[in-house]
Amino acid sequence: MDSRVSELFGGCCRPAGGGAGAALRGRGGAAPGGGGGSKTKKKNGRSRGGKANNPPYLPPEVSSGGRRLKLVNPSQYRFEHLVTQMKWRLQEGRGEAVYQIGVEDNGLLVGLSEEEMRASLKTLRRMAEKVGADITVLREREVDYDSDVPRKITEVLVRKVPDNQQFLDLRVAVLGNVDSGKSTLLGVLTQGELDNGRGRARLNLFRHLHEIQSGRTSSISFEILGFNSKGEVVNYSDSRTAEEICESSSKMITFIDLAGHHKYLKTTIFGLTSYCPDFAMLVVSANTGIAGTTREHLGLAMALKVPFFIVISKVDLCSKATVERTVKQLERILKQPGCNKLPLLVNSDDDAVTAAQQFAQSPNITPIFTLSSVSGENLDLLKVFLNILPPLTNSKEQEELMQQHTEFQVDEIYTVPEVGTVVGGTLSSGICREGENLVVGPTDDGKFLRLKVCSIQRNRSACRVLRAGQAATLALGPFDRSLLRKGMVMVSPEMNPTICSVFEAEIVLLFHATTFRKGFQVTVHVGNVRQTAIVEKIHGKDKLRTGEKAVVCFRFIKHPEYLKIGAKLLFREGVTKGIGHVTNLQAITTKENGLEESLGPGQLSF
């Protein structure tokens, strides 16, 4: 790309959206009726693109066609057409769209004069008001291009919470070595106060006394950071409760704080596989660099195909040379053939906007932030990044998931006084409503039990309807907690769920000290399922060595589980590690698993 484009937009490779070339482009892709464009002028009967001085371009629009839009005083018909396009793009972007004003349909960076830009932004605000959205100017840049009058390009974020949702929701898993500053960073982000250098900010995140005493996370905890429709941070500094944050926010980032110590690795893996994070944030301490479990956590994120970005913390403790050495160390690892990532160091607001747009578009981009939780250095850049970061799935994929049968993964089980049994987890597919009757299982003897969803809460606030991809807690009333365990699923009764004790998976053995043979026992992680399994058979081979691939037959040693063909699989035992996906199930039929038998008086909860 032309170097002048890099200077304009902080070295961006490609702005977010269905294509960067449109002057007015939503992140959700091309709208019906054309891709959009800005008000541009022709000079002496020919376009500015006719000059021979290599004008700056953004890449052309991906979608076919594209119309040039006149944003200065549009006619009523034209205005209604623009509003229709905005509605489409907001729907496709699940409530968010980024518009670029001053860019030709073919990507030519023409820019607008001050008066034209002001009129265009006024029109954009009217469009946003018409659909009930808010706009935020992300950045402005002057175009030094064949004109006596200064001309600008502006990027604008349009945000509107969908009518059927309370807020936009993204889940970010927090990874990194022990003592890298994960919990402290989350404490600073969510509490709105800087750390004192001795771990004060992280105290509110810990769930157990031994965590407070040792300063090390051993369990999975959740923290929320909100952004309102104008992109301003909403956290505990100006809100007393989580309910207030939810009410004031149009976008919510849920951080899943995972353990960094190696002895809690199974908890970290469970958090990554079970809670289905949209993104992962790998925290690396600037003074220690890549140490301990950092490489392992990086490998886990890549194996599970979770897009990740990197935060280098504690830069206040190090010299500039030490920070640069850590950055180079990370860049070297990211560029290795096994990772094949393109590092993008974020040093300014422009870089943060570019990183957010590119990160969601290209799986190879890996933004790197350098910040301090004590001095607050570059902390605002991370907030800008999180504010603009779009969801990975579009509205069409979301709709397809919602059309399927209800399937809720049980990840946590609680007993709440005066409420009864409560389960926490993620709705994988379908829609779950308050008062709905579901079945839960499989139990140790392979049965499914009927139950009723009494109430639903998301981020500690009441919710009547739960949609695919959302995490929540469900109150089950007097249902017997002893009948539940982590790894179960709650599904629609008409789904006729299948379970299995024996399954086959195509695996790659990442590491094993000697040879991997029949009879070897490993801990298998598939979604929210975590159980020891024994190797029954290796197809076509007697043994496996590090790096080899094969189809392996596993058998759970304790009780059957609910699995799906194609599900990602990760197994471990000591230093032995492998990844793969489920290829075949030896299903236990409905008659065998005894759904009807499970409906006795002692097992009903209505």
With contact defined as beta carbons under 8 Å apart, do 479 and 439 qualify? no
Cα–Cα distance measured from residue 287 to residue 314, given in angstroms and rounded to the nearest whole number: 7
* Residue 241: both structure tokens together: 């409760």
Per the rule left: phi > 0, alpha: psi between -120 and 50, beta: everything else, 205 is: alpha
pLDDT given at position 357? 87
Q: Where are the beta strands (DSSP E) in 236-278?
A: 251-257
With contact defined as beta carbons under 8 Å apart, do 140 and 246 qualify? no
* Residue 371: both structure tokens together: 């910040």
Cα–Cα distance measured from residue 372 to residue 355, given in angstroms and rounded to the nearest whole number: 19
The vertex-249 CA angle with 246 and 255, nearest 5°, equals 70
Contacts of 420 (CB under 8 A, 6+ apart): 454, 475, 476, 477, 478, 479
Length of the chain: 606
User: 449: how many CB neighbours lie within 10 A of its CB?
Assistant: 23
DSSP class of residue 108 equals B
Residue type, 589: T
pLDDT given at position 575? 85
pLDDT given at position 34? 43
Strand partners for 257? 174, 221
Residue 554 Cα distances to 181, 507, 582, angstroms: 38, 11, 10
With contact defined as beta carbons under 8 Å apart, do 185 and 292 qualify? no
| CATH value of 66-160 in 3.40.30, 3.30.450, 2.30.29, 3.30.110 | 3.30.110
Cα–Cα distance measured from residue 454 to residue 470, given in angstroms and rounded to the nearest whole number: 18
Q: How far apart are the first and last CA of the chain?
A: 63
The tens digit of pLDDT for each residue in 514-533 reads 899 999 999 999 999 999 99
With contact defined as beta carbons under 8 Å apart, do 515 and 507 qualify? no
pLDDT < 70 positions in the chain: 1-70, 106, 145-147, 162-166, 198-218, 239-240, 589-606
Residue type, 556: F
Residue 444, judged by CB atoms within 10 A of its CB (0-12, 13-18, 19+), counts as exposed
Domain 168-392 in the same topology as domain 66-160: no
Q: For residues 37, 39, 45 and 50, what is the CA-based torsion angle, rounded to 10 degrees?
A: -50
Q: What is the pTM of this model?
A: 0.81
With contact defined as beta carbons under 8 Å apart, do 579 and 502 qualify? no
| Nearest residue to 56 via CA among 150, 155, 142, 157 | 142
DSSP 3-state of 373: coil
* H or E element, residue 352: helix 349-361
Q: What is the CATH code of the structural domain delimited by 396-491?
A: 2.40.30.10
DSSP class of residue 249 equals -
Cα–Cα distance measured from residue 376 to residue 314, given in angstroms and rounded to the nearest whole number: 10
Cα–Cα distance measured from residue 539 to residue 580, given in angstroms and rounded to the nearest whole number: 15
Between strands 279-285 and 308-313, the pairing is parallel
Task: Domain 168-392: give its CATH architecture.
Answer: 3-Layer(aba) Sandwich (3.40)
Cα–Cα distance measured from residue 335 to residue 539, given in angstroms and rounded to the nearest whole number: 35
With contact defined as beta carbons under 8 Å apart, do 411 and 379 qualify? no
Per the rule left: phi > 0, alpha: psi between -120 and 50, beta: everything else, 199 is: left
Scan for tokens 């022990």, then name that residue: 178
Domain-by-domain residue ranges, the chain? 66-160, 168-392, 396-491, 499-587
What backbone phi and psi angles, to 5 degrees, belong to 271? -65, -35
CA neighbours within 13 Å on the CB side: how many for 368?
Answer: 21
CA neighbours within 13 Å on the CB side: how many for 311?
Answer: 32
pLDDT given at position 589? 63
* Residue 208: both structure tokens together: 């157990």
pLDDT given at position 3? 37
DSSP class of residue 262 equals G
* H or E element, residue 573: strand 568-573
Helices 379-388 and 182-191, interaxial angle, to 10°?
A: 70
Task: Domain 499-587: give its CATH architecture.
Answer: Beta Barrel (2.40)
Between strands 233-234 and 342-346, the pairing is unpaired
Per the rule left: phi > 0, alpha: psi between -120 and 50, beta: everything else, 233 is: beta
What backbone phi and psi angles, to 5 degrees, belong to 170? -125, 140
With contact defined as beta carbons under 8 Å apart, do 16 and 97 qualify? no
Cα–Cα distance measured from residue 345 to residue 42, given in angstroms and rounded to the nearest whole number: 38
